[in-house]
Amino acid sequence: MSLKNTLANGLQQIIRRAGTQISVKYYEQTIGSVWDDDVTLSQSGNTVWTSGVVLPINTNQGSYESVLLEQGKLSNQDQMLFVHGSLILLGSEMQVKIGLGSPNEEKFTTRPIGIISPEVERTKIYRKAFITRLTGSLLGE
């Protein structure tokens, strides 16, 4: 068995044991005219149902996450989401809304600080995203 298959199988076992059901909705964003910076989101495609592992932010001194906290790019309430490497979570013209759990999903979106996607043999094994809880009018469908 190749290294990438071994790692992908290991990730699947972790998700089976510690994962939670998630939904991912993709939205295209359009910006008004040159003088109007109003952003409109419209759902693009179907909702994707999958599983992922959600963990709290690592706040240990010197960790990557603690540096992002100090810079104000993350908050203590944010979480880390680990999903299969084939799932797209970020794009320049795209936003995502992530629902955790079912049937009463908590709604999250990705932080715009990048998605970590390690590759082995030109295959993304997993994606690590920082997610933040949506509140107020952002919860609407």
- DSSP letters spanning 29-59: EEE--TT---EEEEE-SPPEEEEEEEEE---
CA angle 80, 27, 25 (to 5 degrees): 55
In one-letter notation, the amino acid at residue 101 is G
Q: What is the pLDDT of residues 87-99, one digit of tens each?
A: 887 765 568 888 8
Q: Which two tokens stand for residue 112?
A: 């715009």
Q: In whole angstroms, give the CA distance from residue 116 to residue 130.
A: 9
Q: What is the pLDDT of residues 41-56, one digit of tens each?
A: 777 878 889 999 999 9
Mean confidence (pLDDT) of the chain: 84
Q: What is the pLDDT of residues 97-140, one digit of tens each?
A: 888 876 677 889 888 887 788 888 888 888 899 999 988 755 56
Domains and CATH numbers, the chain: 3-139 (2.40.10)
User: Structure pTM?
Assistant: 0.83
